Amino acid sequence: MLFRSYQCSAQPAYVGYTYDCGTGKYVANDGYFLFGNGGFYQTITWVDSATGVSSLGNWSGSGNVGGWDLKAIQVNPTTKAWEGAYVYMGSNATWSGSTCTGAAGTLYGASVHASCLPESEVGATGMTYKMDGGIAWVLDNQNLRWHPCLHIYADPAAPPDGWVWNGSSWVEAPSPKP
pLDDT tens-digit readout, 127-142: 999 999 999 999 999 9
Q: How far apart are CA 128 and CA 91, in angstroms?
A: 22
Can you give the pLDDT at residue 4? 47
Say if CB 121 and CB 55 are below 8 A apart.
yes
Residues 102-134: b if buried by 16+ CB within 10 A, e if exposed: bbeeeebebebbbbbbbeebbeebebbbeeeee
Name the residue ranges covered by the structural domains of the chain.
44-141, 143-178
If one compares 2 and 96, the residue with the highest pLDDT of the two is: 96
Rg for the chain, CA atoms, rounded: 23
Alpha-carbon distance values, 9 to 4, 24, 29, 152 (Å): 9, 13, 18, 65
Is residue 15 left, alpha or beta, with left meaning phi > 0 and alpha meaning psi from -120 to 50? Answer: beta
Distance of CA 154 to the CA centre of its chain: 26
Q: Give me the percent of the chain exceeding a pLDDT of 70.
A: 95
74 vs 132: CA distance, rounded Å: 20
Measured in whole angstroms, the distance separating CA 128 from the mean position of its chain's CA atoms is 15
Q: Is the pLDDT of residue 9 over 80?
A: no
Query: Can you point out the beta strands (E) in 49-128?
Result: 54-59, 71-75, 82-88, 93-96, 99-102, 104-107, 110-114
pLDDT of residue 1: 42
